[in-house]
């Protein structure tokens, strides 16, 4: 029985990254590496979106007009699927990105809820363990933080900014969890008690 040659099918790249606006340039020197440069200069009817693909899963990240490579990186990092990590370094060509995927599933993220009595400051859940604040408080109010089954309550004064609210909420992180603050966004993780505030 003659042996036939099996057809060769090149493997599809594991990661993909592209943007609606070609002015935010994305070079692709390797299957897991990309270089971002330029900025968003055009307005599209449905907004400008940065698209990321990992195997079959695709993530859409909205970008504002004028967003540069570091802005796109921050937005992408917040939106990356579970188990995907990015290492970013500045280079002469722009911002170099290298994506990796964890082999062992990541630990379950804590479930977070934030309840407030203030009607002015908005609270938006970005993920099960990530919350974003917008605007300032209109009056003195109470904020209740629930991380899994643990509860913490704090009081905020009138006119408290979104960034100050994020820091205050992170400082009341319950025992057994840690909080990371990036501007007005707070992310909670299981682990040693600590609070990290981005510069």
Q: Print the SS3 string covering 160-177.
A: CCHHHHHHHHHHCCCCCE
- pLDDT 10s digits, 94-128: 899 998 887 665 567 899 999 999 999 999 999 89
The H or E element spanning position 77 is helix 69-79
Whether 22 has a pLDDT exceeding 90, the answer reads: no
* Mean local confidence (pLDDT), 158-175: 94
- The rounded percent of the chain whose pLDDT value lies above 70 is 87
Give the pLDDT confidence score for residue 106 in this predicted structure.
Answer: 58
Structure-model confidence comparison of residues 106 and 171, the more confident one = 171
Contact assessment for residue 177 and residue 189, using Cβ atoms and an 8 Å cutoff? yes
What's the rounded mean pLDDT across residues 2-16? 54
Residue 10 is predicted with a pLDDT of 42
């Amino acid at each position: 029985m003659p042996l036939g040659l099996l057809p060769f099918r090149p493997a599809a790249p594991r990661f993909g990254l592209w943007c609606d606006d070609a002015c935010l340039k994305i070079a692709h020197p390797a299957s897991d590496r990309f270089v971002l440069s330029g900025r968003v200069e055009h307005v599209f009817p449905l907004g400008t979106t940065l698209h990321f693909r990992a195997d079959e899963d695709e993530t859409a990240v909205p970008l504002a007009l004028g967003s540069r490579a570091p802005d796109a990186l921050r937005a992408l990092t917040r939106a990356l699927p579970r188990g995907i990590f990015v290492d970013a370094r500045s280079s002469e060509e722009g911002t170099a990105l290298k994506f990796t995927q964890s082999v062992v599933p990541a630990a379950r993220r804590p479930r977070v809820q934030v309840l407030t009595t203030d009607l002015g400051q908005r609270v938006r859940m970005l993920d099960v363990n990530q919350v974003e604040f917008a605007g300032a408080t209109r009056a003195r109010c109470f904020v209740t933080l629930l991380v899994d089954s643990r509860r913490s309550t704090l009081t905020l004064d009138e006119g408290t900014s979104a960034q100050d609210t994020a820091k205050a909420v992170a400082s009341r992180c319950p025992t057994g969890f840690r909080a990371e603050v990036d501007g007005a966004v707070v992310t909670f993780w299981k682990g040693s008690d600590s609070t990290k505030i981005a510069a």
